Amino acid sequence: MKDKKERIKKAHIFVLLFLLILIPLALYLITSLDNKSTRYRLNIISSYGDKEAYHPKVIAFKEKWNGYKYWMSFTPYPKGKSAKENPHIVASNDLINWEVPKGLKNPLDEVDNIPKKRYNSDSHIVYNPDTKILSCYWRQVDHNKVIIYKRDTKDGIHWRKKETVIISTDRHKKDYISPAIIYDEGIYKIWYVDVNYKVKYATSEDGLNWVDQKEVNITYKENLNTWHLDIIKTDKGYEMLVVAFDKWKNLNKMKLYYTYSLNETDFVETKVVLKPETRMNKWDNSGIYRSSFIYENGKYYVFFGAQSKRKHRGTGLLEGKDLFNLNSINPKKYKKYNKQHNNSITKHQIKTCPPIKFAN
C-alpha cells in the first residue's frame, strides 16, 4: 500500500512538472506562430551593423530625387547605447527596402560620447524645393548644453559641413526635443518639445535662424506628457503623430496619438492610433516611440518606432486610408525582397497579415 502511494505521489509530481514545462512552452509557441495583427520590423541596417533603427523621419518625392523616391533619417539605438545614437540616412523606392545610397557614408555625425551627458539624438530631414536642398537636423546634448545642428546636401551623397542652428546653454531652462520641421509657404516651420513637456512652434526664413512664435497646446483624455512628435501638411491641415507618457518610468511603454490643426498651433484633442503589442515574443510589445508618416495617393504610411520587453528596438511600417484602420504592408513584398537579396528577411517573418484593429 505504501509503495502504491509513493508511486501515485511521484506520478502527480511528474504530471505537475510536465505541465509547468508544457504550458509556458505552448504559450510561447502560440504567440510565436500566431500571425494575427503581426507588425513587421523593417530590415534597416545601421553603420554599426544593427537593425535597431529608431526615431525615423521619412519624406516622399513625387518623382525620384537622385535615384530614390523616399528618404529617411534615423538614429540607431541598439541596447540603448547613446554612443550609437547618431544621424543616419537611407533611401528607398518602395518604402520597404532601405539602403545606403552608393557613396554616402553614415553616420553624418559622431560625438565623443559620455552616456547620459554627451550624445546625439532626434534626427529629422526636410526638403526645400526652391533650393533643391535636403537638410538633416539633429539634437546634441553636451552636459547641460543642447545644440541643434544641421547638414545640407543637393544629391543625398555629399553633405556640407555641419552648421550650428540653435544653442541652449541650460537645457533645464530651454530645450529642443524631437524637432519636427517642414518647409511650407516659403518658410521653415518647426515644432519641438521644450522643458516641462511644452510644445513650441517657431519659424525661420533660412532654416538657421529661428524665432519662437507660440506655445502649442496638445491635449489628451488622460493626464499625459508630450514627448516625441512628427508633423506633415496635407489638405486636411497640419497633421501630427505624437507619443506621450504619464510617468517617466513608463517612457518605454508609450502609445501613439494623432491630432491635427487648421493652423500651426490649435490642435484638436489627440486620439490613439497605435498601442504596443501585448503578446510574448513580439518585437514591439513594450512601447511605441517617435514615429513618422507620409500621405500619398490616398493612403497614410506610418513608420513607427517601437521597443520590445527585451529592450530590442526598431522601425515598423503600416498603411491605411485612415490612421485608425492601418494594415501591415503586403508580405509578398518581403518575399520578393528576400528572393532578390538572399537573406534579408527570414522565412518565419513572412506571414499572412490581416488588418489591424486599434482601440480608440
Distance, CA of 54 to CA of 68 (rounded, Å): 21
- Phi, psi at 315, each rounded to 5°: -125, 130
Name the residue among 95, 96, 76 with its Cα closest to residue 86. Answer: 76
pLDDT at 355: 34
pLDDT at 314: 96
Distance, CA of 96 to CA of 301 (rounded, Å): 11
Name the residue among 353, 303, 360, 299 with its Cα closest to residue 35. Answer: 353
Distance, CA of 50 to CA of 72 (rounded, Å): 16
pLDDT at 334: 53
Distance, CA of 82 to CA of 270 (rounded, Å): 30
Q: Is 151:158 a contact under the CB 8 Å cutoff? A: no
pLDDT at 329: 77
- Domains of the chain in sequence order: 34-349 (2.115.10.20)
pLDDT at 39: 87
pLDDT tens-place values along the chain, 360 residues long: 556 566 666 666 665 666 566 555 544 444 444 444 578 899 999 999 999 999 999 999 999 999 999 999 999 999 999 999 999 999 999 999 999 999 999 999 999 999 999 999 999 999 999 999 999 999 999 999 999 999 999 999 999 999 999 999 999 999 999 999 999 999 999 999 999 999 999 999 999 999 999 999 999 999 999 999 999 999 999 999 999 999 999 999 999 999 999 999 999 999 999 999 988 889 999 999 999 999 999 999 999 999 999 999 999 999 999 999 999 876 455 555 444 433 333 333 323 233 333 333
Distance, CA of 267 to CA of 204 (rounded, Å): 21
pTM metric for this prediction: 0.84
Name the residue among 96, 111, 120 with its Cα closest to residue 41. Answer: 96
Beta bridge partners of 119: 141
